[in-house]
Amino acid sequence: MKLRAEELGLLARGAAVLGTGGGGDPHIGKLLAERAVREHGPVEIVAVGDLPDDACVLPVAMMGAPTVMVEKLPSADQISVAVQTLAKYVGKTPTHIACIEAGGVNSTVPVIAAAQLGLPLVDGDGMGRAFPELQMVLPTLAGIEATPMSIVDEKGNRGVFDTVTNEWAERLARSATVDMGCSAIVSLYAMTGAEIRGAFVAGTLSKCVALGRAIERAQSQHSDPVAAVVDELGGRLLHVGKVVDVQRRTTTGFARGDATVDGLDASHGEVMVLRFQNEHLVAELAGTAVATTPDLIIVLDTESGEPITTEALRYGHRVSVLAAPADERWHSPAGIELVGPRYFGYDLDPIRALETV
Amino acid sequence: MKLRAEELGLLARGAAVLGTGGGGDPHIGKLLAERAVREHGPVEIVAVGDLPDDACVLPVAMMGAPTVMVEKLPSADQISVAVQTLAKYVGKTPTHIACIEAGGVNSTVPVIAAAQLGLPLVDGDGMGRAFPELQMVLPTLAGIEATPMSIVDEKGNRGVFDTVTNEWAERLARSATVDMGCSAIVSLYAMTGAEIRGAFVAGTLSKCVALGRAIERAQSQHSDPVAAVVDELGGRLLHVGKVVDVQRRTTTGFARGDATVDGLDASHGEVMVLRFQNEHLVAELAGTAVATTPDLIIVLDTESGEPITTEALRYGHRVSVLAAPADERWHSPAGIELVGPRYFGYDLDPIRALETV
């Protein structure tokens, strides 16, 4: 399977759905990847099951606040330099590139690396969604170390961290990201093919393209694109309404905030509040949580079905809020400890997307 | 020349004089170095002029707030790991260790590295004194890059930075230092022997030992140890008095503050204020600056002549404040731009130690 320029818009759009508000603007992700693929040719996609056991897979991602990423684009070679810096440090030649998370930019940044370096891209990711901190990946649950990792900015500054825990990698890399202007490119979680098979979510890129295609099909057939996404994900519709307030602040390298959505139509009279840190973490109806991390809380434009990232949310947006189940490994005790509501400061047990109907 | 355990106290004490309040507590520096030399044997000292042109010299230092360094000591192998991490990154085998600055801890940290690694130590340093930020070294004026540099903490976290300017190295390493608990060990400014000759102050370690010995001799002969330091440095006595106030805060990885010294004896009726950021930067008498960076502002215990670091200054201390000339390269326009009073936010032209008598 080859990823061609014409599929990149579908990929970025579907990834922004799974990105649950984070992972960066899909339009920017699409434009950057299209340029790379036009210049270097289509990118070969390899199924997780087809990876050689001894493959040297280097994931690559953008780290930082999506509010900044939309204004500060990576430089032409920043993405491949991040991969090359890590490869040189570990003294290995990469055979494959991978996505660490699903997200509008973070599903296409690896496409750019793969195109520029002429390497195949793994059809999978490390989360099955997006999360704000770098230790929040299934490989952490599988005991795989985030470091050595590289971090590179658009000015030419480079760093490598080699830390005692993945939380320390997050801490040091987050400070460097803030210094670098609140967004940077990182390459981390270097894995073998065998490790990828044990720790990744398989098929994420194909799923993103399918999601993007379902939205496009519903748009062209004038059917309900929100329903198409709910069908595709096995999720449920939580709320339909209009954004009436967004509180947003870019602090400690994250885009944090709350959005208030007044109910319309079936949700008339109900008010939903969304709490986010890059990604949506908690959805509350009338002050009571109805969906939480680790399950996916997704905001779509009600009319077009296009995913709306947290940094793009604005007053007046007509939106539909969905919940969908996360990869089951996130619901293990270790998974909940790593990414459950309490980690983010919400004194709540996790609420599953399909728990209360 | 060999540096033996019995000279380390002299070295640390003399370096704390040149450290102008910064560079860490000489007592701690002495204890750490004595342990290393007892365990691994005396350290060979090599004159700058005797270095082979192609020597691979790796300087090593403690970075952070001296207020923290006195409580958080480096781990047994942290110092040599910093050197080895840089050596591995640059792919070279170090032939010599060097001091980047003079200071109670920062003149003995390289002794520890040299003892542990069995390498000779260069008799020189990169400043001829101490300064608070890592780009503030004569090698920067000579166009030598601070990076690649390593940074290592006592928990086992390691990092490498490779930056576009020495100021960027300071910025990224300072944030990492703060994350690592406000003190870390760094190895940076890897240089050849030829580069060391062009960019270093020669003879610093010998000078520190001589300074330490002059203080010790005056103490044992019951002569004036402050006068002995003034003689040895070619400086002058600015003020004699009692510390009546110290404002101190540990912010952004530095120990910053002001100390007020009421005049006694010849200085009776005069009040001196010292402004510091790790090191003393400005000395004011009755609100007027009488000495500034880049020249050395040194605080000694009036009775014993022992140097007092900025983090050890306290109410009631009887102190003598001295000024002494810095290496002449610091008075070049580029030197003043890098470390003059205006860089630190004081709207003053630099005042030379021997300018106003």
**Same domain? B48 vs B166:** yes
Q: What is the largest CA-CA distance in chain B?
A: 60
> Residue B75: is it exposed, middle or buried by C-beta count within 10 angstroms (0-12/13-18/19+)?
middle
Q: Average pLDDT for residues B22-49, to the nearest whole number?
A: 93
Question: Least CB-CB distance to A179: which of B89, B155, B172?
Answer: B172
Residues in chain A within 8 Å Cβ distance of B178? 175
Interchain proximity A176–B175, CB inside 8 Å: yes
Q: What was the pLDDT predicted at B68?
A: 78
Residues in chain B within 8 Å Cβ distance of A89? 89, 160
**Same domain? B251 vs B318:** yes
The C-alpha atoms of residue A129 and residue A125 are separated, in whole angstroms, by 8
Question: Least CB-CB distance to B159: which of A159, A164, A180?
Answer: A159
- CATH code, A284: 2.40.390.10
Does A221 fall in a domain?
no
pLDDT of B19 above 90: yes
Report phi then psi at B230, rounded to 5.
Answer: -55, -45
For residue A176, give the chain B residue with the closest CA.
B172
Does A85 fall in a domain?
yes
**Structure confidence at residue B242 as a pLDDT band (50, 70, 90):** very high
Lowest mean pLDDT among A29-38, A304-313, B23-32, B240-249: B23-32
Measured in angstroms, the CA of A134 and the nearest CA of chain B are apart by 16
**Structure confidence at residue B71 as a pLDDT band (50, 70, 90):** confident
**Same domain? A153 vs A275:** no
Q: Average pLDDT for residues A210-229, to the nearest whole number?
A: 97
**Same domain? B154 vs B245:** no
Which residues of A lie closer than 8 Å to B, measured between beta carbons?
Answer: 89, 155-164, 168, 171-172, 175-176, 178-180
**Residues near A152 by beta carbon (within 8 Å), at least 6 away in sequence:** A78, A81, A82, A85, A158, A159, A184, A185, A186
Number of domains comprising chain A = 2
Sign of the dihedral defined by the CA atoms of residues B62, B64, B70, B71, in that order: negative
Of B277, B268, B280, B357, the closest CA to residue B321 belongs to B280
Using the 3D structure, point to which of B169, B204, B239 is the last residue of a domain: B204
Does B354 fall in a domain?
no
pLDDT of A355 above 80: no
Residues in chain A within 8 Å Cβ distance of B171? 179
Of A87, A11, A91, the closest CA to residue A43 belongs to A11
3-state secondary structure of A184: strand
> Average model confidence (pLDDT) for chain A?
95
Of A242, A281, A240, the closest CA to residue A258 belongs to A281
Q: What was the pLDDT predicted at A23?
A: 84
Element of type H or E holding A285: strand A279-285
Q: What was the pLDDT predicted at A71?
A: 82
Does A22 fall in a domain?
yes
Report phi then psi at B112, rounded to 5.
Answer: -65, -45
Residues in chain A within 8 Å Cβ distance of B155? 164, 168
A118: domain range?
2-204
Q: What was the pLDDT predicted at B356?
A: 59
Q: Average pLDDT for residues A75-94, to the nearest whole number?
A: 95
Report phi then psi at B296, rounded to 5.
Answer: -85, 130
Best residue of A153, A172, A180, A182 to probe chain B, by most B CBs closer than 10 Å: A172
Of B187, B156, B181, the closest CA to residue B69 belongs to B181
**Same domain? B178 vs B311:** no
Interchain proximity A163–B157, CB inside 8 Å: yes
Q: Token pair of B348, please?
A: 């003053």
pLDDT of A73 above 90: no
Q: Average pLDDT for residues B3-22, to the nearest whole number?
A: 94
Does B10 fall in a domain?
yes
Interchain proximity B164–A155, CB inside 8 Å: yes
**Same domain? B176 vs B229:** no
pLDDT of B189 above 90: yes
Using the 3D structure, point to which of A154, A171, A204 is the last residue of a domain: A204
Does A182 fall in a domain?
yes
Interchain proximity B179–A163, CB inside 8 Å: no
Q: What is the largest CA-CA distance in chain A?
A: 60
Q: Average pLDDT for residues A77-88, to the nearest whole number?
A: 97
> Average model confidence (pLDDT) for chain B?
95
**Same domain? B182 vs B240:** no
Interchain proximity B159–A158, CB inside 8 Å: no
Q: Token pair of A253, please?
A: 């390298």
The C-alpha atoms of residue A295 and residue A14 are separated, in whole angstroms, by 17
Interchain proximity B179–A161, CB inside 8 Å: no
Q: What was the pLDDT predicted at B174?
A: 96
The C-alpha atoms of residue A154 and residue A152 are separated, in whole angstroms, by 7
Q: What was the pLDDT predicted at B1?
A: 83
Q: What was the pLDDT predicted at B251?
A: 82
Report phi then psi at B130, rounded to 5.
Answer: -120, 150
Q: Average pLDDT for residues A51-71, to the nearest whole number?
A: 90
Say how many C-beta atoms besides its own lie within 10 A of residue B255's C-beta: 25
**Same domain? B134 vs B247:** no
Q: What was the pLDDT predicted at A36?
A: 95
Q: What was the pLDDT predicted at B299?
A: 98
Q: What was the pLDDT predicted at A70?
A: 75
**Same domain? A36 vs A107:** yes
Say how many C-beta atoms besides its own lie within 10 A of residue A242's C-beta: 16
For residue B169, give the chain A residue with the closest CA.
A157
Does B214 fall in a domain?
no
**Same domain? A90 vs A184:** yes
Measured in angstroms, the CA of A66 and the nearest CA of chain B are apart by 21
Q: Average pLDDT for residues B227-237, to the nearest whole number?
A: 95
The C-alpha atoms of residue B48 and residue A43 are separated, in whole angstroms, by 55
Residues in chain B within 8 Å Cβ distance of A176? 172, 175-176
Interchain proximity A159–B155, CB inside 8 Å: no
Which residues of B lie closer than 8 Å to A, measured between beta carbons?
Answer: 85, 89, 155-164, 168, 171-172, 175-176, 178-180
How long, in residues, is chain A?
357
Q: What was the pLDDT predicted at B272?
A: 97
Q: What was the pLDDT predicted at B7?
A: 93
Does B211 fall in a domain?
no
| DSSP category for residue B293 | T
Interchain proximity A89–B175, CB inside 8 Å: no
Using the 3D structure, point to which of B176, B204, B232 is the last residue of a domain: B204
**Same domain? A156 vs A64:** yes
Q: What was the pLDDT predicted at A29?
A: 86
Q: Average pLDDT for residues A21-40, to the nearest whole number?
A: 91
- CATH code, B131: 3.40.1610.10
Report phi then psi at B87, rounded to 5.
Answer: -60, -45
Of B129, B80, B105, B100, the closest CA to residue B8 belongs to B105
**Structure confidence at residue B280 as a pLDDT band (50, 70, 90):** very high
> Residue B40: is it exposed, middle or buried by C-beta count within 10 angstroms (0-12/13-18/19+)?
middle
Of B52, B71, B69, B49, the closest CA to residue B61 belongs to B69
**Same domain? B25 vs B91:** yes
For residue A171, give the chain B residue with the closest CA.
B179
Q: What was the pLDDT predicted at A356?
A: 59
Residues in chain A within 8 Å Cβ distance of B156? 163-164
Interchain proximity B176–A178, CB inside 8 Å: no
Q: Give me the DSSP letters along A113-124.
A: HHHHHT--EEEE
pLDDT of B334 above 80: yes
Question: Least CB-CB distance to B159: which of A161, A164, A178?
Answer: A161
Best residue of A153, A157, A167, A252 to probe chain B, by most B CBs closer than 10 Å: A157
